Amino acid sequence: MRHGRTKFHAALLQWYDAEARDLPWRRTQDPYCIWLSEIMMQQTRIDQGTPYYERFLKRFPDLQTLAQATEEAVLKQWEGLGYYSRARNLYRTAQILTDQYHGRFPESPEVLQLLPGIGKYTAGAIASIAFGVPVPVLDGNIKRVLARLYALVESIDLPATDKRLWELAAATLNVKRPGDHNQAMMELGARVCIPAGPLCFSCPVQRHCRAFSASLQDTLPHRTPKKVVPHHEMVVAVIANQDAYLIGKRPSQGFLGGLWEFPGDRIQKTEGCEDALRRIGEEMLRLKVVPGGLVAVVRHAYTHFKVTLHVYRCTAVKRRICSDAHTEYRWVTPDSFDQYPFPAGHHKFLKLL
Ligand code: SF4
């Protein structure tokens, strides 16, 4: 840190106090709201996530309401945000806090980290913002800001650098206003010290920045190259019986856990779409599926892979399903689709049914 920590703190908070965006969770110190916003915005852009945050709070205004809801109602409210384990963990944490913590959030970051879905970052955010505990946080934005402020040349994706960044976050923390400091660092990373082309000439902490003084701001931080994201071709069987369609519920644990979907699978190298649909019938559902026309071809990207869904209307010779691929099956009409949480990829073709 150049030119002293106290001056850095003053410059950062003066800028934050004047320039911070007016976000709904910044108008409160209620740990429930802080927790929800932190979980929700983890893998979501703020402009996309804010309407979800407001709708979620309207539906579940406090911990007790959330704990008393059904998991399906919580997933439904989360629908479209992705990373559904976040919603399941919110629900479990609400129940644990209600049952074991008298419906109150613990203030200690160490205790907060014992709760489902709350890691070191989220625990630090709740503790510092809601309770004023002097504890640092480190997210993607703060990593980038610190790597530039201290001109770190090691890749920020390495575990050793991560450890170093946590130490720097702690050393840089303003213990008098830890919550505001942490939010100011995030805000700086989101709006000024942005990934490509940082806006150094309007940066409130430019004189403290080693990367800027060494003209390294455009080359730091260094990253480890990412692996190529795999791409899968899949078929989806929209099996119709009169005006109802067959949907199955995915097991609670694992990818897209607890969501409802039309039966589908990856197309194997030796088969075409229709072969795959018949195989799904025989092996997954144990009923004879007769492929019909193509409804849609939908592309969707998850974090670790991309899919192209070839969606076919199908019929089945019998209606009784015998399968352990899903925990439950239902025949539902399109007017009740909105009662079921579906993966985001499904929403791209649901309206065509
Ligand atoms: Fe980031 Fe530039 Fe500010 Fe340094 S001077 S913290 S590189 S925006």
For the stretch 134-166, pLDDT in tens is 999 999 999 999 999 999 999 999 999 999 999
The last residue of one of the domains, among 156, 185, 213, is 213
The last residue of one of the domains, among 186, 213, 240, is 213
| 20 CA from centroid of ligand 1 (Å) | 17
In terms of domains, do 125 and 266 share one?
no
187 in any annotated domain: yes
225 in any annotated domain: no
| 303 CA from centroid of ligand 1 (Å) | 29
**The total number of structural domains that make up the chain:** 2
pLDDT digits (tens, 9 = 90+) for 158-212: 999 999 999 999 999 999 999 999 999 999 999 999 999 999 999 999 999 999 9
Cα–Cα distance between 227 and 222 in angstroms, integer?
Answer: 16
Q: Whose CA is nearest to atom 7 of ligand 1?
A: 217
| 209 CA from centroid of ligand 1 (Å) | 6
| 226 CA from centroid of ligand 1 (Å) | 25
Which domain covers residue 161, as residue numbers?
5-213
Choose one of 205, 210, 222 to mutate for the ligand 1 pocket test, by most ligand atoms within 8 angstroms of C-beta.
Answer: 205
In terms of domains, do 57 and 129 share one?
yes
Rg (CA), the chain: 24
In terms of domains, do 198 and 344 share one?
no
In terms of domains, do 119 and 258 share one?
no
Q: Which atom of ligand 1 is nearest to the CA of 203?
A: 3
In terms of domains, do 161 and 40 share one?
yes
In terms of domains, do 207 and 298 share one?
no
Q: Would you state the pLDDT for residue 129?
A: 97
In terms of domains, do 48 and 185 share one?
yes
Residues classed as catalytic:
38
In terms of domains, do 206 and 141 share one?
yes
| Ligand 1 proximity of 220 Cβ (cutoff 6 Å) | no
219 in any annotated domain: no
Choose one of 168, 187, 193 to mutate for the ligand 1 pocket test, by most ligand atoms within 8 angstroms of C-beta.
Answer: 193
74 in any annotated domain: yes
* Per-residue CA distances from 262 to 25, 156, 225 (Å): 36, 40, 36
| Ligand 1 proximity of 148 Cβ (cutoff 6 Å) | yes
pLDDT digits (tens, 9 = 90+) for 212-270: 999 999 999 999 988 888 999 999 999 998 889 999 999 988 889 999 999 999 999 89
328 in any annotated domain: yes
Cα–Cα distance between 251 and 89 in angstroms, integer?
Answer: 15
Tokens 């109602």 appear where?
73
In terms of domains, do 202 and 293 share one?
no
The last residue of one of the domains, among 178, 213, 248, is 213
Question: Which runs of consecutive H residues, i.e. helices, occur in 230-300?
Answer: 273-279
41 in any annotated domain: yes
Q: What is the pTM of this model?
A: 0.77
